[in-house]
Amino acid sequence: MVGFQKANFSCHWSESYHRNFGGPRGGFPGGFSDRDFMEANGTVGQIIKIASSTLVIKGRGDVEKVILVKDDTVINKFKETITINNLKVDDMVVVIGEPNNDGQIEAKLIRVMPKPPMGMRFDAAPKRFLR
C-alpha cells in the first residue's frame, strides 16, 4: 500500500507540475523510475512561498512541493499552536498529510523546526546539520 501511495503521488505530481509550478505541460517525459518515487505523505524542508492557504516547500533534492493548509491543519511551533499567518519564508518545517490527485499534499500537521546553529545548514536529504 505504501509503494502504491508513493507511485500514485509521484505520477500525479509529475502530471500536475505545469499547473502547480508553471513547468512543462503534460509533466515530465518518462516520469519517475521506481527508485525516484517522492514521499507522498509529507516532506521536510524550507518554506519558499506562502499564499493564502498554500505553502511551497523546498525539500530533499531541492524538489518543490505544494502544501495545502486547511481549516483543520494543526501548525505547531514548539509547544504553541499557531496559524499560517505566523509562518515566514525560510522557516524550516516538517509536514505530515495526505496526497491529493493534483500532486499536492493536504497537510494534517505542520511543525516549525528551530533554526540551525550559526554556521550550519539543514540538509533535508539525510536529515542532519552540516557545517
* Residue tagged 505545469 (cell numbers): 18
Give residue 7's pLDDT: 62
Give 80's strand partners: 77
Residue-wise burial string across 20-39, b where 16 or more C-beta atoms lie within 10 A, e elsewhere: beeeeeebeeeebeeeebbb
Average pLDDT over the chain, rounded to an integer: 77
pTM recorded for the entire structure:
0.64
Cα–Cα dist 39/48, whole Å: 19
35-52 pLDDT, tens digit per residue, is 444 566 889 999 999 999
Q: Is 110 exposed, middle or buried (0-12, 13-18, 19+ CB in 10 A)?
A: buried
62-98 pLDDT, tens digit per residue, is 889 999 999 999 999 999 999 999 999 999 999 999 9
Decide yes or no: CATH 2.40.50.140 for domain 39-115. yes
